[in-house]
């Protein structure tokens, strides 16, 4: 049976992030979760697999903490999940991540569709899906908001900035889906309990034939600062409307807005 492979990322829960007065970011008490965008991608992968009569499986690349994601991913309807573990996965850039996922996809084998979210919930760099397709020499469709199966073809609707585009590609293919592709249901208690009985396999970089040089990122993050918006808090509410408008325009000119 062919596989529909959905790639996902185990990320820091943004609601737990705190910004200190000096704008440094405090993530010491932050929990982790499957990226919200990837939850939609997992559901999309399951629906595509059902239409194809294929097996929906998950694939992730992450550090030791990513092992916690396996049961959550399986509880969402995947039949199996694969985890490529490496202690420095958090420092990986898009190229390294795509290289690792491509090696894992080739090891899993027998696939007809690879599903990625348009971007991850932390960086939203939108690089991994297209890079993955390039490494596997597969057609890639990005910004997918709707997808249909037509025999050996995928027909995808792309939501672009100024228009909507419909494209058709032969399988196997990589698709990068937007959150509106479908809703991600909350796993039931029965699904959570059943997840513990489903297969979850760790794949090491060495097993995939990757060397340390393959895992070295081309870029590195040198620092992260929180964004602070300083508001002027100028309220113009008394007096003649025309006078207030002139005063507003004067303030905007002073700030260089107009």
What global pTM score does this model have? 0.86
> Within 10 Å of residue 67's Cβ, how many Cβ atoms?
15
Of all helices (H) and strands (E), which one includes residue 81?
A: strand 80-85
> Within 10 Å of residue 140's Cβ, how many Cβ atoms?
18
Query: Which residue's entry shows tokens 């994601």?
Result: 69
Q: Distance from CA of residue 56 to its chain's centroid?
A: 17
User: For residues 176 and 25, what is the distance between their CA atoms, to the nearest angstrom?
Assistant: 30
CA angle 210, 10, 25 (to 5 degrees): 110
User: For residues 204 and 215, what is the distance between their CA atoms, to the nearest angstrom?
Assistant: 12
User: For residues 111 and 45, what is the distance between their CA atoms, to the nearest angstrom?
Assistant: 12
Phi, psi for 172 (deg, rounded to 5): -75, 155
Which whole number is the average pLDDT over 120-131? 92
Domains and CATH numbers, the chain: 3-215 (3.40.50.620)
Question: pLDDT for 96-124, tens place per residue?
Answer: 999 999 999 999 999 999 999 999 988 88
Q: Please measure the distance between the N-terminal and C-terminal CA atoms of the chain and give it in whole angstroms.
A: 62
Question: pLDDT for 36-85, tens place per residue?
Answer: 999 999 999 999 999 999 999 999 999 999 999 999 999 999 999 999 99
């Amino acid at each position: 049976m062919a596989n529909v492979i959905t790639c996902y990322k185990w990320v820091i829960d943004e609601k737990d992030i705190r910004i200190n007065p000096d704008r440094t970011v405090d993530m010491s008490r932050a929990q982790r979760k499957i990226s919200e965008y990837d939850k939609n991608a997992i559901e999309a992968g399951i629906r595509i697999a059902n239409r194809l009569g294929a097996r929906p499986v998950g694939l992730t690349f992450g550090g030791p903490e990513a092992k916690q994601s396996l049961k959550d991913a399986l509880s969402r309807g995947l039949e199996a999940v694969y985890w490529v573990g490496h202690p420095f996965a958090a420092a990986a850039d898009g190229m390294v991540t795509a290289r690792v996922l491509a090696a894992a996809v080739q090891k899993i084998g027998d696939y007809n569709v690879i599903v990625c979210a348009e971007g991850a919930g932390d960086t939203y760099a939108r690089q991994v899906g297209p890079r993955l397709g390039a490494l596997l020499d597969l057609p890639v469709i990005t910004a997918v908001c709707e997808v249909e199966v037509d025999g050996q073809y995928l027909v995808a609707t792309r939501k672009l900035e100024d228009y909507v585009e419909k494209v058709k590609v032969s399988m196997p293919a990589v698709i990068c889906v937007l959150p509106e592709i479908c809703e991600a249901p909350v796993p039931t208690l029965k699904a959570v309990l059943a997840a513990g009985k489903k297969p979850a396999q760790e794949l090491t970089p060495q097993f995939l034939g990757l060397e340390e040089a393959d895992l070295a990122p081309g870029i590195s993050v040198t620092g992260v600062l929180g964004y602070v918006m300083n508001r002027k808090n100028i309220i113009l509410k008394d007096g003649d409307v025309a006078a207030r408008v002139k005063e507003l325009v004067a303030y905007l000119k002073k700030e260089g807005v107009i």
